[in-house]
Chain A
């Protein structure tokens, strides 16, 4: 079979780029929901803030798993 194109080095960087899409959208959704809810009901902002950070942290973990495993599977 003829090889038309080849990639040398670690493809983990491409993989991480792909892995970051989902968490990127997710983190965006978390903060957009928080901003909306605060705009609608400003007095709820303190009450919802811990949940914002929990949601953010749980989603962000996916992107960070990408960072960690990018190095684990780089070879």
Chain B
């Protein structure tokens, strides 16, 4: 890490950051090129999984009637997702889905948070593979729930045929099919990915831009401080985006499940 700072101070880092900056060197095998089996990203995903499993297991291992601090914290996260997302969006049936939504919310929140935690400073979700897989899970979930609840024929009829005059249906059915079965998972994945990608890029531009100006001319060098202050401010913005995107991903999944469960269109 300090080596990295040295590299930056000597101006070795190329300034306009590119997509290449998202491909971190391999950890296992150490320093290998073009080997992405075990990188910092992989490590962070497993770490997030481990932290979440341990946290919820430990905080609920010995539940008390008057909750301990840890139990209170875990319960308020679960309570928030259950009451403000699952029940608000889906209704009383939503309680069934609350455990999955809580897991999803915590996982996205924690993997997003790596974007601003010192020494991690990149979110696994800035690689599209992870948001894409989470979106696939949500996609399978809401389709499965809908088919199980209504039966396949009624589910597809409900979600494809809106209550509209027959002559407009040839136009509406393709639009509905496109928006429900293609755009939903795609936009779910791209939204989270692009937010984390753009956020990391933004921080890189101002951090590396500071070093670039420091090394440019004596006149520009003091301006680099301004650039780094901007990085600090943007880190706070990133914090907002991190929480918001975790919330939005969960709320949208809940709203898709609600749509699949709804009786009428």
Contacts and interface: CB of A to CB of B under 8 A. Distances in A.
Given A57-B248, A57-B252, A64-B195, A50 B89 contact: yes
Interface residues of B, number: 19
B35 interface: no
A31 interface: no
Nearest to A57: B248
B194 interface: yes
Interface string A34-72: 000000000000000010011011101100110110010
Interface stretch (B7-15, B144-152, B185-193): B185-193
A50 B255 CA distance: 10
Contacts of A58: 187
Nearest to A58: B187
Contacts, number: 40
Contacts of A71: 19
A67 B247 contact: no
B101 interface: no
Contacts of A68: 190, 193-194, 197
B191 A57 contact: yes
Contacts of B255: 50, 54
A19 B193 CA distance: 18
A68 B88 CA distance: 32
If over half of A's interface residues share one DSSP class (helix, strand or loop), that class is named, otherwise mixed; here it is helix
A64 B198 contact: yes
Interface residues of A, number: 13
B251 interface: yes
Contacts of A65: 187, 190, 194
A54 B252 contact: yes
Contacts of B248: 53-54, 56-57
B190 to A, nearest CB: 6
Contacts of B140: none
Nearest to A64: B194
Nearest to B193: A68
A54 B251 contact: yes
B247 A53 contact: yes
B191 A64 contact: yes
A65 B192 CA distance: 11
Contacts of A61: 187, 190-191
B71 to A, nearest CB: 26
A50 B88 CA distance: 8
B194 A67 contact: yes
A69 B208 CA distance: 23
B113 to A, nearest CB: 19
B244 A67 contact: no
A56 B248 CA distance: 9
A29 B197 CA distance: 26
Which of A53, A56, A57 has the most C-beta atoms of chain B within 10 angstroms of its own C-beta?
Answer: A57
18 contacts: A50-B85, A50-B88, A50-B89, A50-B251, A50-B255, A53-B244, A53-B247, A53-B248, A53-B251, A54-B252, A57-B191, A57-B252, A65-B194, A67-B194, A67-B197, A67-B198, A68-B193, A68-B194
Given A54-B252, A64-B191, A67-B198, 5 more contacts: A50-B89, A53-B251, A54-B248, A54-B255, A68-B193
